[in-house]
Structure 1
Amino acid sequence: MRVPDRVVEPVLVVGAVAARTGRLAGLGDPLAFVVSFLRPRLTRIVNGGRAYQVRLVSRDSRSTAEGARQAVRELVADEGAHIVVTLAGTQVLPAVADACEEAGVPCVSSTFPWQVYYYGRGADDAAPFRFTYHFCWGLDTIAETFADLWELAGGRGRTVGCLWNDGPQGSWSRDVRRGFAPVARARGHHLVDPLPYTEPATDLTGHVTAFAEAGADIVTSAATGRDLALFRATADEHGVAPRLITCSRWLAYPPSVTAGGRQPAQAHVATLVYWTPAHPHRSSLDGMTAAELADAYEQSTGRQWLQPLGLAYALYEVAAYALRTADDPDDPAAVAEAVGRACLETVAGRLDWRTGPVPNVATVPLAGGQWQPGRRRGHDYELAVVSNARVDGLAVDADLLVGRGPGRWSRSHRP
């Protein structure tokens, strides 16, 4: 008797660009983990009654824009990627998205303020992107979240020193139409913004002096960890102790006590909270909760969970949804259109491109957090949720700690 020929299922390829070498290598850890975790689990999808194999592949951006563009070229030409995902990197993420737009391959990205992603790459409301999509918070929600923290630390009408560079972070923070500054000022706060510094900073004495002369006891920043450490050391030398520092960059990664027991630059710094094990979300792929995902990461790597982990997992949820619901998963335009009409519950929360602030963008809500001494064994510092007006179901689990002088901290009094 003749044995029927085996039906060979067509293959759909999801490509990832993640930094694995170079100065941003640590930023690639969440996406690299998710690729390895899902590779044996996300192996098959069904679209319109037809089954497809799924193959997950990745390339190293080498922490540079050119490396990112080369990674996209390899994923498209060598691997035949049907969709590309990426996150992190001020220069790298836009390079990935631009390369995908030029190549005509769908791309989904995250962890980059949406105004910088959208307007910074040259789109406008009349001319959106065709193939590239993004989910994240905005500069406006960063400002609202930080204003919540400033007011917890000392009430309304604060004088706030701005530690902003002359790069994209500083330029977009200052933008008078779409930046951080106009939203913060609209909340009644006075911003002190000295001349921008060039990254990496070599001398921040001018900023420390300007803040002290203006009576700014709160500092806000988008500095790297290195430059934040330089600022704090310079402030200490001049006897200046800010009541609170808020910083939106590089602080998704848990700080550790350095050799000699010295506190890291991030200690007691307040920042954004966009994903934690306590977020009340489940994955659309497998029902995994935020807590289970964080635990899987810690069990596998031996390291503390990371905020971008939830967004990295959600990237694959969006990619799988688009390939499963596209009119033709082999047609790049159809896959891109499927992302554009997506409204999906993910482990990072609801992502809705139908009602985004602009085409190509879905938003992620923010809470306010602070790196405080760890309560769990092996965690030198933990991200405590100290302010929450915008994330349903996420509880505040600590009081904000404010400075009372060098090395002295006390709990803020909630209004």
Structure 2
Amino acid sequence: MSTVLDPTRAPATVAYTFTSESVSEGHPDKVCDTIADSILDAHLAADPASRVACEVLCKENNVVLAGEITSNHGVNYDELVREVVREIGYVDADQVFRPDNLNVHIFLSRQAAEIAQGVDADTSLSGEQGAGDQGIMFGYATDETPELMPLPILLAHRLARSLATHRKNGAVGWLRPDSKTQVSVRYENGAPVAVTDVLVSTQHSADADREAIRQFVALNVVPEALGQWYHDDIALMVNPTGSFVQGGPSADAGVTGRKIIVDSYGGMGRHGGGAFSGKDPSKVDRSGAYFCRFVARQVVKAGLARRAEVQVAYAIGVAQPVSVKVDTFGTGDERAAAEYVRQNFDFRPGAIVERLNLLRPIYRLTTNYGHFGKPELPWEE
């Protein structure tokens, strides 16, 4: 009988390997996330009080926008969608999913009045901004990297970003927007000691040579992305199916909110289940998760623990959280950490929005290569 090891609970003397994955901005699900966050930013830029809950589906040359948006600013959704697809890089004439060939279907209504009355401070029963939904959110931080992120997901993101950078710089002509990466890291005594395995699957043009793809990834992308964690003994797999010509929404369906583990901690920290992209910060699925990350970072930075996880729970329309919990996984004084959080951090939705200055068009910065670990984001300061 096999035993599943939870690395967050493993004794310090246990050795294990942990794996995380990332995807590029051209992955079908990420195309949808990017469109959703672009719509959000467009509304917030002109009307910071906009309420946005936008879902997107892409398949072949169809883009479906659905959800609820209440805003004093109109957006040309058709034009915006085409521009986002162009920026991502789906411009090749041999792909059905390209800007000049899209059918944009719009199914958007206003936010339900019953939700609005519980969220808006002037109509809520408490007289202050209530949570936009019920639910649980988690934030995680670890001192194993300067970014206070788990190493496997951090490196997986760097690989995916490196592929996109080389494609946009024109380093090789055969790279296409869709790709996935995966990194396995060996841990000993609670700390990462070596990268053991790397998997890179990248879309390419039909005329690309398989060995040329492997050589480019092995000699350029992997050493560059892994930096000090690179070594010659890494087991590397590149496009293990042999070919990856058909990709993106031309081949697969994409939907917002399907990459929540890629978006957060790569499985190393827990996730409450709520997606981020396309939601304004009144939705605690997003703002609550960001604030929990902010608080977990402060716990680690204050020296109260080497690893910290913060959970918050809300009831819809209510400002005060149902619960707040701090877990240090035996790496610090949990009672002191919990007291530090209680005294220094206000988890009411309105207070979160104010402290992190969230009513700004900053959400395209979050969409790809992780919502955490980027110094330009306010919850990472």
| TM-score bucket (shorter structure) | under 0.3
TM-score (norm: length of structure 1)? 0.22
TM-score (norm: length of structure 2)? 0.23
The structure, 1 or 2, with the larger RCO (C-alpha pairs under 8 Å, 6+ apart) is: 2
